[in-house]
Amino acid sequence: MPAPADPSVNPADPRDISADPREIALDPRETTPKPEYVIALSCPDRPGIVYALTGFLREYDANIIDLEQHSDRQTGRFFARVRVEFLGEAPSLERMREEIGPVAGELEMDVRIVDATTPTRTLILASKIPHCLGDLLFRQRYASLPIDVPVVVSNHPDLEPMVRAYGIPFEHVPVTKETKPQAEARMFELIEQYDVDLVVLARYMQILSEDASSRLAGRAINIHHSFLPSFKGAKPYHQAHDRGVKIIGATAHYVSDVLDEGPIIEQDIARVSHDMTPADLVGVGRDVETQVLARAVAWHAEHRVFLNGHRTVVFPH
């Protein structure tokens, strides 16, 4: 005879931790997140900008989850990043982009409206050094970085096995002085083919041409293995060691037509000591590089970075 049922346990009660989770009917309101949009804007600073923006959002029953703003008194520009959810049905991005036109025109806004849940399509350029590329791919795989990498391009074949292990296409595009125009043309073909929004130079040991840098302005990030603007050029850690430095660093910046002088997004440092060898400094530097590059890529992908002349405004987490 089967044992009598325990009257204290309701098999339909989702609080019963012994129940099969596949059999528990969850409230769809708890499992379906509300759409969230990010509005990122810059414009000449003047009174009434936030008032105009919040008035525009009120027409959509939009609830502001997060609002960050900055007025740059030096350049006279205003910057804001607003993340919103909707109490009712979310409007389409196309509708909001069209209907913000009159507000943007009146206030001379550069404005973009994006879906906060959509990863940024990112093409990564690399050469032979694996740590920055591997770190980005790992973070993407485990959803700690809001990017989608549809392809990796390299001027050497060495990193292909690592990239293929992540199930990502690998394009070997050799570069010489004579073939650089063709190589960059192929890069732009891949950018169009894979609908890429961001290009990341993950220790890519090639200098982009002035034309390529101009076409990618504000959407190509490079990691420099030094704390700019010092110790430029080859073997920066050996230069630092020779100078007896006590800190080393890394710099993530947007690519510009002047080598390593693009707008800086993020920097960090690590302390070193007199008993470290150049190899020790390289090891410490690699850790700093991966963290700085990951933060810069994340902030760009989350629309937290704004160009402000040759500088940036960054609203970090």
- Please give the model's pTM, rounded to 2 decimal places: 0.84
The token pair that represents 173 in the structure block: 């595009």
Examine the residue annotation and report whether 287 is marked as an active-site residue of this protein: no
**Which residues lie below 8 Å from residue 314, measured CB to CB, with a gap of 6+?**
265, 266, 299, 304, 305, 306
| pLDDT range class, residue 10, cuts 50, 70, 90 | very low
Percent of residues, the chain, with pLDDT higher than 70: 85
At 261 the pLDDT is 76
pLDDT score at 125: 98
pLDDT band at 9 (very low <50, low <70, confident <90, very high): very low
* Cβ-based burial of 78 (10 A; exposed 0-12, middle 13-18, buried ≥19): buried
Q: Which domains does the chain have, with CATH numbers?
A: 31-115 (3.30.70.260), 120-314 (3.40.50.170)
Amino acid identity of residue 76, one-letter, is G
pLDDT(13) > 80: no
Single out the catalytic residue among 45, 72, 158, 260. 260
Averaged pLDDT, 193-220? 96
- Give, as one character, the DSSP assignment of residue 222: E
